[in-house]
Amino acid sequence: MEKAEGRNQTPIVEFILLGFGNFPKLQPLLFLVFLVIFIVTVAGNILIVALVVADCHLHTPMYFFLGNLSCLEICYTSTLLPRLLASLLTGDRTISVKGCILQTYFFGILSATESLLLAAMSYDRYLAICNPLRYAALMNGRVCCQLVAGSWISSFLGCTTINIFLFKSKFCDSKGIDHFFCDFSPVIKLSCGDTQAVQVLTFIVSAIGTFVPCLLVLTSYIRIITTILRIPSTTGRQKAFSTCSSHLIVVIVYYGTLITVYVAPTANTPTVLHKLFSVFYTVLTPMINPVIYSLRNKEVTESLGKAILQLVAFRNRHGTLKDKF
């Protein structure tokens, strides 16, 4: 209990999210930037989910995973950005202790699930490219559902185990959290009690939840690239490399920033860098995932084109009927 010595033991009931600093002239610009990102992210991912559900040609394992990823990204973004936008708009940076812990909890579940889901998607692509003859048997509907359910259940169990300690914690001394959302590390620093055990547990869960999926993804893409190099057609190789390279860049940025913030020893890393890394995996990745994984695919663009044509035809038909009456 050495941590609590010399500290104000008066319990606190709310935190203050310090965000990106106290720069009043910068707040409107930040609000506009994050509002645009939020709208684009939610709209893009809703579009992907709608196309995957509506078009029977997209009822395949790859698009099943993409649809689930888009649903996840909507929840992920909605957990963090609305609170940030409200604070930038009103200037009120306070958040209740319970609300902060709940945000930490849901953020942990969603980020861990995304890590595992990206690994499942890379395994799906590995089977499709490297083992196409057995793909239909190995990646059937039951296996897809098991992989998605396993990602959610594993994340839920791991984060619940950690947050049991957090829910029982009492907070005192400083109210300020030097971050733009309630992340685990800055929140646990404000605990009155000894947090060494929960910090060790968090490190173990974070390491398993990021390193293992990251290694699976890298292994899958190494095998995929090796297979692509054997394709005799230059056009086929270029197309496959274009798709895989964009996927790999997004995955490296996502896992790299996660590992830097939660696993790698970064005690001397400036807080501003932690915030910058956090922006990558909490804000930018959910926005670009629909473009990288879905909207660059020929099947999705064709489905989107057909949907637009059907919508235009429906509006024209509706307008004609109104003119008659």
User: For position 296, what pLDDT does the model report?
Assistant: 67
Domains of the chain: 13-301 (1.20.1070.10)
User: For position 319, what pLDDT does the model report?
Assistant: 59
User: For position 132, what pLDDT does the model report?
Assistant: 86
User: For position 190, what pLDDT does the model report?
Assistant: 83
What DSSP character marks residue 18?
A: -
User: For position 231, what pLDDT does the model report?
Assistant: 74
Alpha helix ranges (H) inside the chain: 27-54, 61-90, 97-130, 135-138, 141-168, 184-188, 196-228, 234-262, 271-279, 285-289, 298-324
User: Any idea which residue has 């990823």 for tokens?
Assistant: 69
Dihedral pair phi/psi, residue 191, rounded to 5°: -70, 145
Q: Mean pLDDT for each consecutive 10-residue tract of the chain (325 residues)?
A: 51 82 82 94 91 87 91 92 91 88 92 92 89 89 94 92 82 80 84 80 84 90 85 70 72 82 64 81 86 74 80 69 56
CA-nearest of 209, 187, 188, 210 to 197 is 188
CA geometry: angle 199, 258, 4, nearest 5 deg: 25
User: For position 1, what pLDDT does the model report?
Assistant: 42
User: For position 322, what pLDDT does the model report?
Assistant: 57
